[in-house]
A and B are shown apart, each in its own frame.
Chain A
């Protein structure tokens, strides 16, 4: 099978072209995932672009994106495949008048025609290149995780009545997790691991510049600086990239060119969602100069 990407730098520029600013780590892991034909487990705080990464990779490589959203109670029939039993019943009834042997009917009704494919099977059976996104995999129970193991390591699905369906092409698989629970060793072992953290200041500035229309370079710079300072405060939930972008858009709409303490305090509720967090940030930024100046030297 032909590798999709030539080198790490190539991955990085292509991602950049579709509007995803990857750092070296991200680009490197995507590149390796393709070369080693292994799934990528993407972990990190909410709102750092984990899902977006899979989408962007699909876009840049021109592959179809197939998405499986995980939730508690997800089972085989929602993730892998299901027999279309209504259609099977119809077939049995239709055959009743004719003189057909039961074995034949049985063979008939457990064939491709009566199989409803769900995302995982679909990703494997597709002829064109596919990016499979298994979103928020930490939401399924530990037992359900086992469903994924066969497809992740061997790219195949075993259907008892039909045999093993093997992949026609190896899909690029991304699993995302918000780390609400420890994933099983078996799953982790089969994946490459990528931790996506909040971007550093320069990258965040570039993201803001790229995603927010009509923003000036100096405003983006200030935004990135303020957000970095806020992330240094001990908070319940630090602002995510998407919240930074929302804030940037708000400031552009308000026609702000230079962020003053007042502006920051008035709009900080876009960045922070907990009352205690907001209070703390306001305390840090409020006009009372000596509240913080020498404290952290």
Chain B
């Protein structure tokens, strides 16, 4: 069996170019491997097919999610029953009614069309079935309900230019899963002979939540299938394309992306720490020790046969982080603080300051703390950073810094300033940066905005930038990692 000249080949080629478009580095060899791998497995086994492609094409676990999305689009179940222009879908009018009265639990949706299973159920019956299937953890039933729910509540229309999330939201709103969870817990409490301890309750709840998550996934998949049938594979893959975790923009991350970023930062810091420690240990040799070489040359009759080097003393920089934590750039500051503290072993000392329009030192929050996430959280909630109105004022913040801590800046310190330099048209006080630059070893400015936005509107990064050793665009983890590496 070969894949040449078959529709499968075409599909695989499209699939792989979509993976590349999504940012996954798929090489030619891997492409060929994938083609060969699928000849060894039965095509009707969808899971095996997926794992075969995954094992040959995705070599980084962080990319798995992106792979899965593309896979779902390209190799989802297809057929007439998913066509939106089918008779089944003239229930749209009703769905739109439902949109108007937000609390409508789908009255009037009862009259199902077509002969598909469960179409004749009333909404109450459907809700009851949903509840029962979740209570028993009945997978098949859940799948059927997901199909029904999408059909009834999502109100999908052919060619309508909205994303899957919109339909998902509409479906879930009608199912009221929070209410169902509450009911399930009630039921469990009643059934148990003794009152549940909170521990048991917690375990039960986790179980139900896992089941509900599964149901949500089913619904999502069902919506995706319809959308693919409606819009075609390529268009759909394009709308679903999401940046890889390391490329997610700090300033525009969704809640879900934030979560994946937070998960990504832990392994990243560990990797970076290992790499930096290694770099420090290897590769560096001290300068030639002239006196020592001459001394040893005596044993070779005055020929400096064995050069001696000074003991390498790599200097550890002292870091001062000054971070803007106002709303727009808070996430960025959080990640950078996290990274800097996770690597604090690489620096002789780390001091941190945060500001909005006032400035506060937060070094003590990190002292002897094992859990950096929590300390960063405290910084965001407890630090005293508001002076007048809580709008960024770089000029005043720098003034305060210079007045209170300016004398601590010395030739050993590397100063990092984090922020978008959107100063709300206050005075810039750029002379302070100049003063700092003269005293400190290095001054770096990290800006989370794309370079093309710099110096537009109230951004005055250029004004500060001329006094810095470097102004860096740091919009995602990849750039942050690169910067930190040059820092050490």
Contact = CB atoms under 8 A, between A and B. Distances in A.
Nearest to B48: A28
Given A141-B278, A225-B207, A234-B373, A189 B198 contact: no
B64 interface: yes
Interface in A171-215: 179-182, 185, 188-195, 201
A182 to B, nearest CB: 7
B29 A189 contact: yes
A188 B59 contact: yes
Interface string A17-45: 00000001100110110011010110110
Interface stretch (B34-42, B98-106, B287-295, B456-464): B34-42
A179 B268 CA distance: 10
B370 A285 contact: no
Contacts of B210: 201, 228
Contacts of A293: 198, 201-202, 205
Most B CB contacts (10 A, CB to CB) among A226, A276, A297 go to: A297
A160 interface: no
A274 B202 contact: no
A289 B196 CA distance: 10
B451 interface: no
A185 B370 contact: no
Contact of B198 (A141, A261, A296): A261
A41 B30 CA distance: 14
Nearest to B56: A192
Given A192-B55, A195-B61, A284 B202 contact: yes
A276 B61 contact: no
A232 B197 contact: no
Contacts of A226: 203
Contacts of B60: 188, 193
Most A CB contacts (10 A, CB to CB) among B36, B54, B55 go to: B55
Nearest to B270: A180
B275 interface: yes
Contacts of B41: 8, 28, 31-32
A29 to B, nearest CB: 5
B370 A43 contact: no
Contact of B40 (A36, A41, A190, A292): A36
A32 B373 contact: no
B202 A185 contact: no
B203 A28 contact: no
B183 interface: no
Contacts of B45: 8
B199 A285 contact: yes
Most A CB contacts (10 A, CB to CB) among B33, B51, B206, B275 go to: B51
Contact of A193 (B59, B207, B278): B59
B381 to A, nearest CB: 17
Interface string A218-241: 000010011011001010100000
Contacts of A28: 41, 47-48, 51-52, 55
A66 interface: no
Contacts of B206: 225, 228-229, 232
Contacts of A229: 202-203, 206
A182 B54 contact: no
A185 B207 CA distance: 40
A276 B370 contact: yes
Interface string B51-85: 11011101111001000000000000000000000
B54 A24 contact: no
Contact of B36 (A31, A36, A40, A275): A36
A275 B370 contact: yes
Interface in A237-275: 260-261, 264, 274-275
A145 B59 CA distance: 16
B202 A287 contact: no
B484 interface: no
Given A260-B197, A293-B205, 15 more contacts: A25-B54, A35-B40, A36-B37, A43-B61, A179-B271, A180-B274, A193-B58, A195-B61, A225-B206, A261-B197, A261-B199, A274-B370, A287-B197, A288-B198, A297-B181
10 contacts: A28-B48, A28-B52, A35-B37, A36-B33, A36-B36, A180-B274, A181-B274, A189-B30, A232-B206, A260-B197
Interface of A: 8, 24-25, 28-29, 31-32, 35-36, 38, 40-41, 43-44, 72, 141, 179-182, 185, 188-195, 201, 222, 225-226, 228-229, 232, 234, 236, 260-261, 264, 274-276, 284-285, 287-289, 291-293, 296-297
Closest 6 CB pairs of A and B: A261-B199, A289-B198, A28-B51, A188-B59, A192-B55, A35-B40
